[in-house]
Amino acid sequence: MYLLNTETMNDAQSMALHRMDQENVGTAAYLGISYFWAFKYRHSLRPCSYFARRIVHKRLMDAGLDVRGESPEHDEIIEPYCASRREVMEAYGVTASTEEG
């Protein structure tokens, strides 16, 4: 097992890794680095760990769903692995009052 610390990569290395992983979306080789999800799930999946993204990706594939799709079945698979909307808002310093006005 290898551990990859993406925090220590330079920009060129990071971009190469993202491009490679983008080619692996929809396959068992997906690493969890590149974005694969539908727009609807962007705030839920962006803050997820690479590991959680890989699990979600695998579960979507195992269910025979398009990993870039949207449906109630997608919701059931994605939501348990992701931060709630409130947690994401708090992480970005947004409160209900800031969001409204």
Q: What is the pLDDT along the chain (101 residues), one digit of tens a residue?
A: 567 777 888 999 989 999 999 999 999 999 999 999 999 988 888 888 888 899 999 999 999 999 999 999 999 999 888 766 566 667 767 665 544 44
The domain limits of the chain are 7-100
The pTM of this model reads 0.76
- By CB atoms closer than 10 A (0-12, 13-18, 19+), residue 74 is buried
Alpha-carbon distance values, 6 to 14, 29, 49, 54, 80 (Å): 7, 18, 12, 16, 25
Judge whether 60 and 32 are in contact, CB under 8 Å: no
User: What is the rounded distance in angstroms from the CA atom of residue 58 to the CA atom of residue 38?
Assistant: 15
Q: Is 31 left (phi over 0), alpha (psi -120 to 50) or beta?
A: alpha
The reported pLDDT for the residue numbered 22 is 95
User: What is the rounded distance in angstroms from the CA atom of residue 37 to the CA atom of residue 46?
Assistant: 9
The reported pLDDT for the residue numbered 47 is 84
The reported pLDDT for the residue numbered 85 is 59
